[in-house]
Amino acid sequence: MTQHTIDVFNGDADGLCALVQLRRDTPKESILVTGVKRDIALLKNIAEGKETQITVLDISFEKNAQDVERLLAQGANISYFDHHKTGDLIQHENLQTHIDLSADTCTSLIVNEQLQGKYLAWAITAAFGDNLTAKARSLGLDAGYKELEIELLKQLGTFLNYNGYGASLDDLFFAPAELYKKLSLFDTPFEFVEQDLETFKTLSKGYSEDMAQAAAMPLIDNDADIAVTELPNEKWARRVSGVWGNELANQHPDRAHAILTEKDAEHYLVSIRAPLNRKSGADELASQFPTGGGRKAAAGINALPKVKLAEFIVAMRKQFAR
């Protein structure tokens, strides 16, 4: 009986690097199911679970629970790795969960533990991408990496994360499935950068140009506890929204940040970052709105009605008041 392998992963640095680690360790021909970073209800894209081995990486269990149940009932075997809000977990003999909700981890670090550090540099890259800067740097130093090597992993993680943001694949420099195929050829990020420098340079150039435009955008609300920035409905703004939130969080670690990117005439796409010095509450804030979700340190709302903006700012201020 032939069993099909399907790999389902978030299109950001964490999802990419998690799958790279697993498939460098256990190479398999697989069907890739992914999308832009905010496309997290990915299991709905799998029509049939019979005779399938499904690996799920870095997408919320809560947002996929119904499809997990459906696929299990059809006969799928599912391995689920994640660090986002879960909702009620399902108990099933064919479901293996590797989920850690602590604010100081990510899916690639969970995979790294499973593989006992075999591809640590990829896990560190992902941790930098998820803005776990102190954790990533500590792991790099403990592993004996030089400062220049750690900086390279930080840059790559940031660029991979940046590439995942957009309203559709058309906004991205590289579709996540395409980017995964490039990364998965190499045991280490260092080999990737050395041997596929063109891809690295494309991401670096785009990142620098988009960040420069974001830096020129004014705050629409701010105090000691929160800051809110509005970006226009343009490709560069959709690409930069998440990494700009990370940058602001690093610059102002005691303050929470929200990046509002105009989605259409009536809605914003929202990226939320909890204060780095108290990494919790982002998921709680986002979950107060119908299309919101995420994790304690970073979350988002896919379609915040503009008429709800004042309500959102009040809720944000209440959530992060010291």
Q: Which is it for the CA torsion 163, 280, 151, 185, positive or negative?
A: negative
Do 157 and 226 lie in one domain? The reply is: no
Has residue 2 got a pLDDT over 80?
Answer: no
- 51 φ, ψ (degrees, to nearest 5): 60, 40
Residues 40-44, mean pLDDT to the nearest whole number: 95
Do 103 and 158 lie in one domain? The reply is: yes
Do 238 and 143 lie in one domain? The reply is: no
Give the model confidence (pLDDT) of 139-152 as tens digits. 999 999 999 999 99
Do 261 and 305 lie in one domain? The reply is: yes
CATH code where residue 270 lies: 3.10.310.30
Do 29 and 124 lie in one domain? The reply is: yes
Q: Does any domain span residue 278? A: yes
Sequence-separated (6 or more) residues with CB below 8 Å from residue 125: 13, 17, 108, 136, 153, 156, 157, 160, 189
Longest pairwise C-alpha distance within the chain = 62
Q: Does any domain span residue 241? A: yes
pLDDT exceeding 70 applies to what percent of the chain?
99
* Boundaries of domain holding 233: 217-320
Cα→Cα distances 55→37, 88, 174, 186, Å? 17, 19, 22, 20
Q: Does any domain span residue 209? A: no
d(CA 237, CA 187): 33
For residue 118, the one-letter residue type is: K
Has residue 158 got a pLDDT over 70?
Answer: yes
Q: Does any domain span residue 277? A: yes
Q: What interhelical angle do 120-129 and 13-25 show, nearest 10?
A: 170
Decide: pTM greater than 0.85.
yes
pLDDT exceeding 90 applies to what percent of the chain?
89
Do 27 and 141 lie in one domain? The reply is: yes
Give the model confidence (pLDDT) of 160-193 as tens digits. 999 999 889 999 999 999 999 999 999 999 999 9
Cα→Cα distances 319→85, 269, 274, Å? 17, 19, 10
Domain boundary among 181, 204, 227: 204
Give the model confidence (pLDDT) of 107-153 as tens digits. 999 999 999 999 999 999 999 999 899 999 999 999 999 999 999 99
Q: How many domains are contained in the chain?
A: 2
Domain boundary among 204, 236, 269: 204
Q: Does any domain span residue 17? A: yes
Do 39 and 83 lie in one domain? The reply is: yes
